[in-house]
Amino acid sequence: MPTVEHPRIVTGFDVASASMTPDSAGLTPEGNSGVAEQDEKPSSTVPRWVVKAIALFWLGWVVVYIGTGAVRSLRSFLVVLLISVFISFAVEPAVNRMETWKIRRGVGVWIVYLGALLALAGFSAAIGTALADQIDSLIDEAPTYVDDIEDWLQNNIDDDIDLQRIQDEFVEGGGISDLAERFADDLVNLGTALLNIVFHAFTVLLFTYYLVAEGPKLRLTIGSILAPRRQKMLMSIWDLAIEKTGGYVFSRTILAIISAITHGIVFEIIDVPFPIPLALWVGVISQFIPVIGTYFAGALPVLVTVLDEPRKALWVLVMIVAYQQVENYLLSPRITAHTMEIHVAVAFGSVLVGAALLGVVGALLALPFAATVQAFISGYLHHRDLDE
């Protein structure tokens, strides 16, 4: 029986496999595709985010460099502006009160300026008169002091000490001429510094006038460009700054008046020269110069009393130290509790930081600034009782 050959059935898979050769399928002899080989080649282009990061870095460096230079160049102007803002906050409560009496804000500012100028003139005249009289007295009694010092040196150190001979050698050796030249240079520098201070003072007063007289308009202008939530926060900070700065000046003024009256009475009893001017000096300087004001204020009465009668100087020193304790523990907490609540450590630290940043100006502005920041933060924090 003849053999019948059946035709071979070729499936679609087989056809595809048969019809595909390694070259037509794009396969290399190693079995890798050409497309995969192209993808594995390293790209020579830098990612876009790297370019952006480098550009932003250098742009930020340029902005910081230019900004730092601008701040250094404008430092004096920024200090003047900062002082003006502080004084405007201190003056505004009085101007607001006068505005309720139908007095225009601009006129109210000038009334405050006039009162401050009269107070400063009276204080300067009293202290200047006392210092001038004391210096005249010191010059008149200088020979006596020199003789007393010479006797003490001869009795306790060396019998051959002759202050008159030292004085003659100083004059003949040209020391007095050098001293006169240095003194003349110091006078020129002092005159330049005074003119600079006067110029800055007028600038501060001008800025303060516009900040207070146009205060409500300035608030509206700044608040109109902010969102409602930001407006509320701005007004809250602004009101706190005015309240704390005004409270600071008010409490310091009250303490200065009490201090001046108390020291004036005691100085009169002890029979200290120029009791009223020295009492004013102690009251004002001890209250308005932070940290070192107390020591600086007490040094002048002690020095004046030493020159007049050394035994009284001890009583003056005891009086100043005793009153300082009474003020720190009794008067100051009661008066400042309603005007400027601030922790003692925070006050001390803020004064040190302010002095390091802006010198004397920073030390003066540190306390009201710290009180404002503390009050603002306390208003946004939730206090909870501690579990004992």
- The per-residue pLDDT for 276 is 87
Encoded amino acid at 51, one letter: V
The per-residue pLDDT for range 251-264, each reduced to its tens digit, is 888 989 999 999 99
Q: Is 18's pLDDT higher than 50?
A: no
DSSP 309: -
Residues 6+ apart with CB under 8 A from 259: 279, 282, 283, 286, 287, 323, 327
Query: What is residue 274's DSSP assignment?
Result: S
**Helix, strand, coil content of the chain in percent (nearest 5):** 80, 0, 20
Mean pLDDT of all residues in 271-277 = 86
For residue 25, pLDDT beyond 50: no
Query: If phi over 0 gives left and psi between -120 and 50 gives alpha, with beta otherwise, what is residue 234?
Result: alpha
Express each pLDDT in 300-311 by its tens digit: 888 888 877 888
Coil, strand or helix at 142: helix
pLDDT for res 13: 44
pLDDT at 14: 46
More confident of the two residues 335 and 86:
86
Q: What is this structure's pTM?
A: 0.66
The confidence band for 184, taking pLDDT boundaries of 50, 70 and 90, is: low
Q: Where are the domains of the chain?
A: 87-140+174-225, 228-380
Number of separate helices (H) and strands (E) present in the chain? 16, 0
- The pLDDT confidence band at residue 113, using thresholds 50, 70 and 90, is very high
Query: What integer best gives the mean pLDDT of the chain?
Result: 76
Instruction: Indicate the DSSP class of residue 4.
Output: P
pLDDT at 268 over 80: yes
Q: Which of 8-17, 72-81, 144-153, 344-353 has the lowest mean pLDDT?
A: 8-17
Query: Are the CB atoms for 233 and 222 separated by under 8 Å?
Result: no
CB–CB of 294/286 below 8 Å? yes
Is residue 26 within 8 Å of residue 34, measured between CB atoms? Answer: yes
Question: Which of 39-48, 123-132, 196-205 is least confident?
Answer: 39-48
- The answer to whether the CB of 269 falls within 8 A of the CB of 250 is no
User: What confidence score (pLDDT) does residue 209 get?
Assistant: 92
Residue 282 has pLDDT above 50, yes or no: yes
Question: What does the block give as tokens for 244?
Answer: 């704390």
Question: Which of the residue ranges 177-181, 244-248, 380-384 would you say has the lowest mean pLDDT?
Answer: 380-384
Report for 23-27, 224-228, 286-290, 320-324: range of highest mean pLDDT: 320-324
The whole-number pLDDT of residue 114 equals: 94
> Does residue 246 contact residue 93 with C-beta atoms inside 8 Å?
yes
List pLDDT tens digits, range 333-382. Answer: 777 766 666 666 777 788 788 878 877 777 777 877 777 777 767 666 55
| Of 26-30, 220-224, 362-366, highest mean pLDDT | 220-224
CB-CB neighbours of 5 under 10 Å: 6
- Cα–Cα distance for residue pair 296/291, rounded to 1 Å: 10
Contact predicate 286/298, CB 8 Å: yes
Write the Ramachandran bin of 87: left for phi over 0, alpha for psi from -120 to 50, otherwise beta.
alpha
- C-alpha distances in Å from residue 301, one per residue of 122, 191, 263, 269, 296: 19, 28, 10, 14, 10
